[in-house]
């Protein structure tokens, strides 16, 4: 879900605070390193808006452990979405592919909240236009369920079962002035 709806400001409750977010990102970084057996040929691509700073934070944690920088970029999926006819006023974001590209690399897509799976499907289509990775994985801060497509995250900060009518939103220091996850 992009952004935190304003109704969560008044009616939502925090399910993760800044310390919870930090711990979750540290755990995700270590899981990525374990699964990849280090940081070799690893590329983290954040999905705008909040996936981009999450990818950068995970990359910083990996660099602290491995002692070497991790290729990080962003992947705009706007034009690959299947709901453009219903919401045509979406702003286009910047795609930034790290030097060396994605061919033959292990690409980890990073997003804030995994819901229906449609954003991830769009990301896979966008990624296919950039090259052919050796593998593609998914890391999300929150998995709230309710998938409409057969997509699951490889690395999850918090599984948050929610009602379909509930809203789940993520705030990050870089975009919103503080770190927290809200449900309401």
* pLDDT at residue 10 in the model: 57
CB 138 within 8 A of CB 151: yes
SS3 176: helix
pLDDT at position 102:
98
Q: How many CB atoms lie within 10 A of CB 92?
A: 9
* pLDDT tens-place string over residues 125-170: 999 999 999 999 999 999 999 999 999 999 999 999 999 999 999 9
Higher pLDDT, 90 or 107: 107
**Whole-number pLDDT of residue 136:** 98
pTM of the entire predicted model: 0.92
Q: Which domains, from first to last, does the chain contain?
A: 19-166 (3.40.50.2020)
Decide: 76 and 94 in contact? Cβ < 8 Å.
Answer: yes
- Looking at residue 76, what is its pLDDT? 96
Calpha distance 44→110 (Å, rounded): 7
- pLDDT tens digits, one per residue of 23-78: 999 999 999 999 999 999 999 999 999 999 999 999 999 999 999 999 999 999 99
**pLDDT for 135:** 98
| pLDDT(7) > 70 | no
- Cβ contact 26:60 at 8 Å: no
Tell me the pLDDT band of 103, cut-offs 50, 70 and 90. Answer: very high
CA 132 vs. chain centroid, Å, equals 20
């Amino acid at each position: 879900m992009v952004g935190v709806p304003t109704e969560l400001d008044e009616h939502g409750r925090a399910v993760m605070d800044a310390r919870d977010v930090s711990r979750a990102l540290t755990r995700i970084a270590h899981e990525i390193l374990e699964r990849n057996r280090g940081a070799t040929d690893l590329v983290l691509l954040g999905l705008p808006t909040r996936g981009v700073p999450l990818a950068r934070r995970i990359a910083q944690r990996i660099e602290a452990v491995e002692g070497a920088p991790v290729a990080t970029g962003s992947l705009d999926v706007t034009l690959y979405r299947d709901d453009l006819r219903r919401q045509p006023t979406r702003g286009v974001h910047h795609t930034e592919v790290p030097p060396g590209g994605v061919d033959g690399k292990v690409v980890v897509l990073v997003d804030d909240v995994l819901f229906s799976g449609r954003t991830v499907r769009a990301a896979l289509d966008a990624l296919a236009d950039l090259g052919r990775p050796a593998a593609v994985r998914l890391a999300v801060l929150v998995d709230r369920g309710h998938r409409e497509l057969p997509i699951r995250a490889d690395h999850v900060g918090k599984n948050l079962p929610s009602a379909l009518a509930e809203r789940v939103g993520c705030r990050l220091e870089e975009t919103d002035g503080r770190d927290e996850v809200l449900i309401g």
